[in-house]
């Protein structure tokens, strides 16, 4: 019997190209320009691989040589939260945004890439999202650990509490909830859904609860939980499906109760 012929799988040689329009900015203060690239299509490409193709041959469709596009990325599997950008005008993660879902029903639509609009541009698609980390510091979004000695086993948690906390622990700090929130702007100083959700996560932790009152006071007043207008954009856009509006409601109630307690303690 003749041996079966072994063939090496190959990508279909479609000859198709993808048109990608990228909003670019060389420095934080430079004027933005749009450059257009034609990228050879491969099955299962995501936006990170498109940006990699541009880096291999940074030449625009007009034949002008340019520089590779600056953007943030690390894990390439929607865990680190660094690659958020506007893809066809929508805040998404570049590493999980698939080209086949972005080029329209005939596969010929252009893809547009731009930096998140509510954060200072560092360069091209890379933005400065340090405001999130300042907000997390404001609400002390951590479990205080004093010293490096062995603390022994952590306190037990009821399974019902674990089930509520686990989805909140999936936050990847991508800032998409802040980008899509109409209340996240300079006028309100709103801390945003991610920060409020993390405050709830740590308030429910048996060890983290020692800072519960401080977190609730940090979320009272200007920029706090009261700024939420329940547009619910955050919960729809979150790439990890965090129960953000539920967290904001719960924290709104807890902040109010804390304010009443503080009033009677005066």
Which residues of this chain interact with ligand FES, rule CB under 6 A?
73-76, 78-83, 93-95
Q: What does the alpha-carbon distance between residue 207 and residue 143 come to, in Å, rounded to a whole number? A: 6
Q: Are 57 and 103 in contact (CB under 8 A)?
A: no
Nearer to ligand FES, 96 or 157 (CB): 96
Nearer to ligand FES, 61 or 74 (CB): 74
CB of 239 to ligand FES, least distance (A): 8
Nearer to ligand FES, 75 or 151 (CB): 75
Strands laid side by side in the 111-114 sheet: 33-40, 17-24, 111-114, 84-87, 90-93
Q: How far is CA 78 from CA 82, 174, 180, in A?
A: 9, 9, 18
CB of 98 to ligand FES, least distance (A): 13
Nearer to ligand FES, 78 or 246 (CB): 78
CB of 132 to ligand FES, least distance (A): 14
Nearer to ligand FES, 93 or 193 (CB): 93
Nearer to ligand FES, 93 or 247 (CB): 93
CB of 84 to ligand FES, least distance (A): 8
193-203 and 159-169 helices, crossing angle to 10°? 150
Nearer to ligand FES, 16 or 101 (CB): 101
CB of 221 to ligand FES, least distance (A): 33
CB of 145 to ligand FES, least distance (A): 27
CB of 107 to ligand FES, least distance (A): 24
Which residues on adjacent β-strands are paired with residue 20?
37, 111
Place of tokens 């979320």: 219
């Amino acid at each position: 019997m003749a041996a079966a012929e072994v063939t090496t799988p190959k990508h279909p040689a479609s000859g198709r190209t993808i048109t990608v329009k990228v909003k670019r900015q060389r420095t934080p203060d430079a004027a933005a320009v749009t450059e257009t690239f034609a990228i050879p299509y491969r099955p299962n490409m995501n936006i990170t691989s498109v940006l990699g193709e541009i880096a291999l041959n940074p030449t625009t469709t007009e034949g002008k040589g340019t520089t590779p596009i600056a953007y943030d990325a690390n894990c390439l599997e929607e865990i680190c939260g660094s690659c958020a950008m506007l893809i066809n005008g929508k805040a998404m993660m570049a590493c999980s945004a698939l080209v086949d879902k972005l080029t329209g029903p005939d596969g010929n639509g252009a893809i547009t890439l731009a930096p998140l609009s509510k954060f200072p541009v560092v360069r091209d698609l890379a933005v400065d999202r340090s405001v999130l980390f300042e907000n997390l510091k404001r609400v002390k979004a951590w479990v205080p650990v004093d010293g490096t000695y062995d603390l022994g086993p952590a306190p037990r948690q009821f399974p019902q509490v674990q089930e509520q906390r686990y989805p909140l622990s999936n936050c990847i700090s991508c800032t998409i909830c802040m980008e899509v929130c109409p209340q996240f702007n300079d006028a309100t100083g709103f801390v945003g859904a991610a920060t409020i959700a993390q405050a709830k996560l740590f308030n429910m932790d048996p060890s983290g609860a020692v800072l519960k009152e401080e977190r609730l006071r940090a979320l009272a007043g200007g920029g706090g939980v009261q700024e939420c207008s329940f547009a619910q954009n955050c919960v729809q856009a979150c790439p990890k499906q965090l129960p953000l509006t539920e967290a904001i409601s719960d924290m709104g109630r807890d902040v109010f109760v804390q304010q009443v307690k503080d009033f009677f303690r005066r």
